[in-house]
């Protein structure tokens, strides 16, 4: 079932992991793709995979925290496709090698994490939403995290950024609902991405071992929910925080 036939989906940070999974699912559902990511090589791999399956894709190798790069890509994508129907604000990460306890933390790391997660979500939404409102239809899907709910030690900046995304989602959903645009957040739990697979953080491995369903999720598990929210079947869902985590936490 190709629920997104004729739609155009933009995915930020879409070359790897959850973003790539979402991009491929959107394409399999019939959507044309606009994907931005810093990694040009993996973007090229994604392009080949999408086009080999008969899909259409426009990519840009750029940093999503670069305001002008973001604006330019949205402008070019709208000019190329004529519209953007679906925005998946996926780009983001934690402090990784600079991760620390809050008492040992540094403001520069806070700014990096909040800029990459929260500000990019707000920025791309602000760039794309006016066209959606003008057409009276749109789907914005923001990638938050169960870290907002669980508050892991050492993830103060990441949890704050993802919590900000949830609050942003609710506020903008209320504003745009009368204009035909839904806005929702996905809160993934442990998902087998490159970052997770290569992590040496003991907290990460404890998290992976604590999933009630007995296995760690795949990017496709998040992409499946994104596809529902992006489709007409998701028209009555807005302002929600959908937790996809194998039962680790409930809301």
| Burial class for 202, CB neighbours closer than 10 Å (0-12, 13-18, 19+) | exposed
φ/ψ (deg, to 5) at 233:
-65, -20
Question: Among all residues, which ones are annotated catalytic?
Answer: 158
Q: Is 83 exposed, middle or buried (0-12, 13-18, 19+ CB in 10 A)?
A: middle
Return the percent helix, strand and coil in the chain, to nearest 5: 50, 15, 30
End-to-end alpha carbon distance in the chain: 30
Instruction: Give the H or E element holding residue 163.
Output: helix 156-176
3-state DSSP call for residue 249?
A: coil
Are the C-beta atoms of 234 and 139 separated by less than 8 Å?
yes
Using CA atoms, how far apart are residues 35 and 103, in angstroms rounded to an integer? 37
- Quote the Cα angle for 99-103-107, to 5°: 65
| Strand, helix or coil for residue 54 | coil
């Amino acid at each position: 079932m190709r629920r997104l036939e004729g739609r155009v989906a933009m995915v930020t940070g879409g070359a790897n992991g959850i973003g790539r999974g979402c991009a491929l699912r959107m394409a399999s559902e019939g959507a044309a793709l606009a994907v931005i990511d810093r990694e040009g090589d993996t973007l090229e791999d994604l392009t080949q995979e999408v086009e080999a399956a008969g899909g259409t894709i426009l990519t840009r190798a750029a940093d999503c925290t670069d305001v002008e790069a973001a604006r330019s890509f949205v402008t070019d994508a709208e000019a190329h496709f004529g519209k953007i129907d679906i925005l998946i604000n996926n780009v983001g990460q934690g402090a990784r090698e600079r991760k620390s306890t809050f008492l040992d933390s540094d403001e520069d790391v806070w700014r990096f994490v909040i800029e990459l997660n929260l500000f990019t979500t707000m920025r791309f939404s602000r760039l794309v939403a006016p066209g959606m409102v003008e057409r009276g239809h749109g789907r914005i899907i923001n990638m938050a995290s169960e870290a907002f709910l669980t508050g892991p030690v050492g993830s103060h900046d990441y949890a704050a950024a993802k919590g900000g995304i949830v609050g942003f989602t609710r506020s903008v959903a209320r504003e745009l609902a009368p204009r035909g645009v839904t806005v929702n957040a996905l809160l993934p739990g442990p998902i087998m991405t490159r970052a997770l697979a290569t992590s040496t953080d003991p907290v990460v491995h404890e998290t992976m071992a604590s999933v009630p369903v007995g296995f760690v999720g795949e990017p496709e598990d998040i992409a499946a929910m994104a596809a529902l929210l992006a489709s007409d079947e998701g028209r009555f869902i807005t302002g929600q925080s959908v937790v996809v985590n194998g039962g680790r936490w409930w809301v």
